[in-house]
């Protein structure tokens, strides 16, 4: 198996494959659980695998429930800019925050938890929503000699797209596996995300192209 894997300069980045984003979760993405078998099919191709995990405190600033009179999917302005208000999801230590049990990525080397600061949301695996606070992922990848990332997970138009764009900003090549992702598509967000990623030089492929 080892000699059929991607070279050591490429990593698979699995974004937020958690129950909170699956059907029945706090912030369900339609058909979100369909990504799990696709990820399991492609993951053995990668010697380097990193996962991210949304990990919010219950009083997180992005939860509509923490803003009296506000509803999910409304927007507010915070010190770092516009913030979508979300349903309560992926609260630390809950089943909703757990990675899907059926993921078969035991060879993953790192889990990055994000969104754990009460006052800052975090979509990207690299930089939180204030665009200043880093997760340390870019430094880790550079230290490992990794020059490109292949992304999959949830949701295409938020955490996957922001992560892909920040990977490019960090000097990494970035490729999104479209059928290993699913989108929220809030007010046209999916089309905007694909356009932004294309403009930044992010590649878009299907999982069969990794075979």
- Of 114, 152, 157, 166, which residue is the catalytic one? 114
Query: Is 106 known to be catalytic?
Result: no
- Of 16, 54, 121, 157, which residue is the catalytic one? 16
In sequence order, what E strands does 5-142 have? 10-15, 48-54, 75-78, 81-84, 110-114
Taking the C-alpha atoms of residue 76 and residue 159, their distance in angstroms, rounded to an integer, is: 19
Three-class secondary structure of residue 86 per DSSP? strand
Taking the C-alpha atoms of residue 174 and residue 16, their distance in angstroms, rounded to an integer, is: 17
Residues in the chain, total: 211
Query: Is 159 known to be catalytic?
Result: yes
In sequence order, what E strands does the chain have? 10-15, 48-54, 75-78, 81-84, 110-114, 148-154, 173-182, 203-205
Taking the C-alpha atoms of residue 126 and residue 151, their distance in angstroms, rounded to an integer, is: 13
- Of 54, 90, 121, 159, which residue is the catalytic one? 159
Taking the C-alpha atoms of residue 47 and residue 144, their distance in angstroms, rounded to an integer, is: 12
Query: Is 16 known to be catalytic?
Result: yes
Give the residue numbers annotated as catalytic, written as ranges: 16, 114, 159
């Amino acid at each position: 198996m080892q000699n059929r894997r991607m070279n050591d300069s490429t990593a698979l980045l699995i974004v937020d494959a958690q129950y909170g984003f699956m059907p029945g979760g706090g912030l369900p993405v339609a058909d979100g659980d369909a990504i799990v078998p696709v990820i399991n099919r492609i993951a053995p191709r990668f010697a380097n695998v990193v996962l991210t995990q949304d990990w919010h405190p219950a009083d997180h600033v992005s939860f509509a429930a923490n803003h009296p009179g506000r509803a999910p999917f409304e927007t507010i302005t915070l010190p770092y800019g516009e913030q979508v208000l979300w349903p309560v999801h992926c609260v630390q230590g809950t089943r909703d925050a757990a990675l899907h049990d059926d993921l078969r990525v035991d060879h993953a080397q790192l889990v990055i938890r994000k969104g754990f600061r009460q006052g800052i949301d975090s979509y990207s695996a690299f930089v939180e929503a204030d665009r200043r606070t880093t997760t340390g992922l870019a430094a880790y990848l550079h230290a490992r000699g990794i020059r490109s990332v292949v992304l999959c997970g949830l949701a295409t138009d938020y955490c996957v797209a922001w992560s892909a764009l920040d990977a490019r900003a960090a000097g990494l090549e970035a490729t999104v596996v479209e059928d290993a992702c699913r989108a929220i598509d809030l007010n046209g967000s999916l089309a905007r995300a694909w356009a932004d990623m294309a403009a930044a030089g992010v590649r878009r492929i299907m999982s069969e192209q990794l075979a």
